[in-house]
Structure 1
Amino acid sequence: MTEDYKIKVQNVTKEYDLFKTQADKLKSFFSVKTDVPHFWSLMGISFEVKPGEALGLIGVNGSGKSTISNIISGIIPQTTGLVDVRGDTSIVAINAGLKKNLTGRENIRLKSLMQGLTNEEIDDLMDEIIAFADIGDFVDQPVKSYSSGMKSRLGFSIAVHINPDILIIDEALSVGDDTFYQKCVDKIADFKKQGKTIIFVSHSLKQIEFLCDRVAWINYGKLRMIGKTDEVVSKYREFIKWFKKLSKKEKAKFEADQKQIQKDFDIDAYQKSVTDEEAKAHPEVKHMAAKIKKRFYGSVISEKMPKTSVLFTWLVTVAILLFCLVNVSGHPVTHIVKHPDSIVKPTKQLKLPTGVEKDNAKKATKKHHKKTHHKKHVKSEEK
């Protein structure tokens, strides 16, 4: 891979745990081993996008196109691998970054602020964004009342007007009408003239052919092919044509086999294969295994609690339990240290704090004196 790139994706994988219960999720978070099955949406994706290039991502449903675009945009973390993005990204997808309970106008401000714009800059762009989205009075209505086309219009309008370095479009043009589609195409063409980098995810091969310089074909979690648009699209059309000729039973078997491969993927075996390949290509490099391990996990944000944190959590929990037991037992700490078994044998005598015990003793003494004085007074009167 070269150093002249805008986006670099190397050995990227993404694993999803197929939890059945909330208890399984909690066990996984605390790194407790469970029998939860795994599904690898991505199984070692590597490619680069050059500055000013428009790269198309194609593939059948469930192949991982949206997953890789979300990883590049920073919405979700990868499980392993390196993702180096040189510039600010803005993703256009239905519902991406839009809060359903906020109005369109409020979403414009929120998403723009998240992209680093000031309130003054947003005020200057507000009318232009609303005009481009062309959703009328709905701009002041909650987004949850929008149609998918209206959400796409608003999301696209926000994304292109905040002037990002990298624009990621994920199926956002598939739900708009022809008029809005042409506006989007013109805006994308303008972005290309400005030298912006674009990643375009779509099932429309015509859109891909018209807008993209190169295409990456992702097939069930793996990069099947990457290259010039016409070459990759031609091969993909051949695959689709072959798939459509299969019987219903054959299609189901083919898809089930591909999904099973994604479930059976072994990340350790993949890491070893990459290490062996790199060691063979660069025999002069020492400690290749450590280098590859750093590439796989060096920039990854773990979605599970680290072992050190798990150990610390358990230590704190045990300490709190011991503290509670010591207090309930009624024995002093020094006694518990000498006789650990007494922690489960509470003392029969309740010992009050020193100050409280003295106050109670004084009260008892006063009460006794009052009773004695009262008795003497009664006897004297009788006499």
Structure 2
Amino acid sequence: MAENYKIKVQNVTKEYDLFKTQSDKLKSFFLPAKNVPHFWALMGISFTVPAGETLGLIGVNGSGKSTISNIISGIIPQTTGKVDVKGDTSIVAISAGLRKNLTGRENIRLKSLMEGLTNEEIDEMMPDIISFADIGDFVDQPVKSYSSGMKSRLGFSIAVHINPDILIIDEALSVGDDTFYQKCVDKISDFKKQGKTIIFVSHALRQVELLCDKVAWINYGQLKMLGPTEEVTNKYREFTQWFKSLSKKQKRAFESKKKNVQKEFDINQYQKQITDDYSKKHPDDRHAQSKIKKLFYGSVISEKMSVPNRLLTGFIGLLIIFFCLVNFSGHHVTRVLAHPRSILHPKKTLYVPNNRTHHNVIKQKHHKKGIHKK
């Protein structure tokens, strides 16, 4: 029996390498990085969102809410795990997907074209998008001159008019005024009536309680709780009140402890744990290990070069350097290959091919005859 879901997230993790400089990051593209601290923004997140449900994502800053929403929308890839999304997604975040040097109108066209709409369809809905955004003459100004509120207005307006199957809203309602906020709430309610699936990321618990059917509490990279809105938000309020009651020293110690867990997370140990759990539920399945490995890495797009690709890239780089040096030396390739040291002793005289030399000599003779005749 097929599962009825719009979004399914299984054992999703996200790792970031904490490079100190940009040069270290560039080196790691070609060579294996050594002694680079790792930070796991997500440590095994799993949940399912049925069609037509509005799921709220809550948690303190840095817990991984935006990371998981960006992975679901396809903006960034996960490190391990599987994300199955049935339908087109559109993410609404402050300036998400907007090109700063383009005008608002140009951004509307660009983003709509990227979603597969035709120019005729865009022309037809352009007035509605501009009217809903309500940014006046700024629609023909570069987005880099917009305030955060104006960017949010434009982004939200484009996203809802594209009419996606899945709408992801990431803190986009936190920067608008009351009038625009109400327009957004009405539009989201409209989407819910149409049976659209919505993921709503917000710190505003009141908004979450008004709009969401269920809530997932992401706590420092882990799924702390998933359930009915009221139940989860009440637990989260208890946590935030407890946290606020701590002294500054206690708060730092608590956060440091949680961050260390994210730095020391062992992906291999986690994979083994999932494999063991699967084996207990399916003792007769001899392929448990390979199935879990496929679940972890089968749909992952690697952000790092494999060893063969690194070797190939390095070899091509050496070839380019070699031919550049040969060119500057003035020697023929065969001579350099026969006598490698000759590359260190470039020629002082540039030899021109015979046919070109002959042509130049004839040209000089004719030039001299012309001078004598005068």
Aligned partners of 2:346, 2:211: CA distance in 1, in Å? 84
Compare 36-45 and 213-222 and name the one that shifted more.
36-45
State the partner residue of 1:356. 354
Compared CA separation, residues 323 and 159, structure 1 to 2 (3 A): closer
Q: In structure 2, do the counterparts of structure 1 residues 280 and 153 end up closer, same or farther at CA, with 3 Å as the change threshold?
A: same
**Structure 1 position 251 matched with structure 2 position 251:** yes
* Separation of aligned partners in 2, 1:212 and 1:119: 35
CA deviation digits over 1:83-140, x for unaligned, max 9? 1111000011101011111111111111111111111001110111111111111111
* Partners of 1:152 and 1:330 in 2: CA distance: 61
Q: Is structure 2 residue 198 aligned with structure 1 residue 198?
A: yes
1:167-246 matches, within 5 Å, as 167-246=167-246
Gaps of 5+ in 2: 362-374
**How far off its partner does 1:251 sit?**
0.7
Cross-structure match for 1:13: 13
Once residues 224 and 73 of structure 2 are traced to their aligned partners in structure 1, the CA distance between those partners, rounded to angstroms, is 22
> Percent same amino acid at aligned positions?
71
Return the match for 1:344 from 318, 333, 341. Answer: 341
Q: Distance in 1 between matches of 2:274 and 2:85?
A: 22
Structure 1 residues 214 and 319: CA distance shift in structure 2, 3 A: same
Could you tell me which residue of structure 2 aligns to residue 378 of structure 1?
none
Match of 1:366 in 2: none
Could you tell me whether the CA contact under 8 Å between 1:330 and 1:351 is conserved in 2?
no
Residue matched to 1:68: 68
| One-letter amino acid of the structure 2 residue matched with residue 166 of structure 1 | I
Deviation at 1:212, TM superposition (A): 0.5
C-alpha distance in structure 2 between counterparts of 1:353 and 1:130, whole Å: 67
- The runs of at least 4 consecutive aligned structure 1 residues that moved more than 3 Å come to 317-337, 345-357
Match for 2:354: what amino acid? Answer: V
Q: In 1, are the aligned partners of 2:56 and 2:202 still within 8 Å (CA)?
A: yes
Aligned-residue CA RMSD (Å): 2.7
- SS at 2:100 equivalent: coil
Answer yes or no: is the 8 Å Cα contact 2:330–2:347 preserved in 1: no
Q: Which moved more, 1:319-328 or 1:51-60?
A: 319-328
CA displacement 1:27-71 (0-9 Å, x = unmatched) = 221242322211111111111110000000000000000010011
State the AA in 1 paired with 2:125. L
Deviations 1:256-287 (A, max 9, x none): 11111111111111111111111111122222
Q: Is the contact made by 1:30 and 1:304 (CA closer than 8 Å) also made in structure 2?
A: no
Quickly say closer, same or farther: Cα 1:144–1:344, change in 2 above 3 A: same
Change (3 A) 1:284 1:131: same
Alignment CA distance shift 1:175-1:320 (3 Å):
closer
Counterparts of 2:261 and 2:353, CA distance in 1: 72
> SS of the counterpart of 1:207?
helix
2:275–2:292: 8 Å Cα contact kept in structure 1? yes
CA distance in 1, matches of 2:94, 2:326: 57
Task: Give me the TM-score of the superposition, normalised by structure 1.
Answer: 0.86
**Amino acid aligned to 2:50:** K
CA distance in 2: counterparts of 1:350 and 1:253, whole angstroms? 68
Please tell me whether the aligned partners of residues 24 and 36 of structure 1 are also in contact (alpha carbons under 8 angstroms).
no
CA contact 1:329–1:344 (8 Å) conserved in 2: no
Which amino acid is 1:356 matched to? N
- 2:330/2:346 contact within 8 Å kept: no
2:251 counterpart letter in structure 1: K
Aligned residues of 2:73 and 2:90 also touching (Cα < 8 A) = yes
Task: Tell me which moved more, 238-247 or 285-294.
Answer: 285-294
Larger Rg: 1
Once residues 173 and 352 of structure 1 are traced to their aligned partners in structure 2, the CA distance between those partners, rounded to angstroms, is 69
Q: Determine whether 1:26 maps to 2:23.
A: no
Alignment partners' CA distance in 2, 1:66 and 1:216? 13
Is this contact kept in 1: 2:168–2:200, CA < 8 A? yes
Query: How far, CA to CA, are the matches of 1:103 and 1:38 in structure 2?
Result: 39
Cα deviation, 1:139-190, whole Å, max 9, x if unaligned, reads 1111112111111111111110110000000011111111111111111111
Asked if the contact 2:326–2:336 (Cα under 8 Å) also holds between the matched residues in 1, the reply is no
Q: Structure 1 stretch 19-28 or stretch 189-198: which is displaced more? A: 19-28
1:316 partner letter: I
> Is the partner of 1:90 in helix, strand or coil?
strand
> What per-residue deviation string (whole Å, max 9, x for no partner) do you get for residues 181-221 of structure 1?
11111111110110000000001111111110100000000
Counterparts of 2:346 and 2:123, CA distance in 1 = 73
Q: Using a 3 Å threshold, how does the CA distance of structure 1 residues 336 and 74 change in structure 2: closer, same or farther?
A: closer
> What is the aligned residue count?
358
What are structure 1's unaligned runs of at least 5 residues? 364-383
Q: Compared with structure 1, are the counterparts of its residues 336 and 135 closer, same or farther at alpha carbon in structure 2 (3 Å cutoff)? A: closer
TM-aligned CA deviation for residue 316 of structure 1: 2.6
Deviates more, 1:113-122 or 1:272-281: 272-281
Contact residue 336 and residue 342 of structure 2 kept, 8 A:
no
Tell me the SS of whatever aligns to 1:14.
strand
Counterparts of 1:1-383 in structure 2, within 5 Å, are: 3-320=3-320, 328=329, 333=334, 336=337, 342-344=339-341, 356=354
**How big is the shift at 1:314?**
2.4
TM-score by length of 2: 0.88
Q: Deviations over 1:2-23 (max 9, x none)?
A: 7211001111111111111222
Q: Is the 8 A contact 1:52 1:198 kept in 2?
A: yes
